[in-house]
Amino acid sequence: MPTSGRNIPLKSFRSYLEWKGLKKIRTKGGHEVWSKTDLPRPIVIQSHIDPVPLFVVKTNLKTLGVTIKDYEAFLLA
């Protein structure tokens, strides 16, 4: 299921974050904050917007140090 040009289902992106070892540390004002110890900053997603816009996913993947191709491989696994 290639994601090129498409928004990402919130449930799928949450599953990916958990798979990468992140934990949801808080929810406030419609935002979820995810983190793990080796990240330079936390991952923030809006929990009231589903699907997640592709540019938000790409920005968060950059923070994780992975590419959209890595995320697509997760979807196919």
pLDDT given at position 5: 67
E-assigned strand segments in 1-77 = 23-28, 31-35, 43-46
pLDDT given at position 6: 82
pLDDT given at position 59: 95
Residue 30 has pLDDT above 70, yes or no: yes
Residue 73, SS3 per DSSP: helix
Structural domains in the chain?
A: 10-76 (3.30.920.30)
Contact 2, 75 (CB under 8 A): no
pLDDT given at position 36: 95
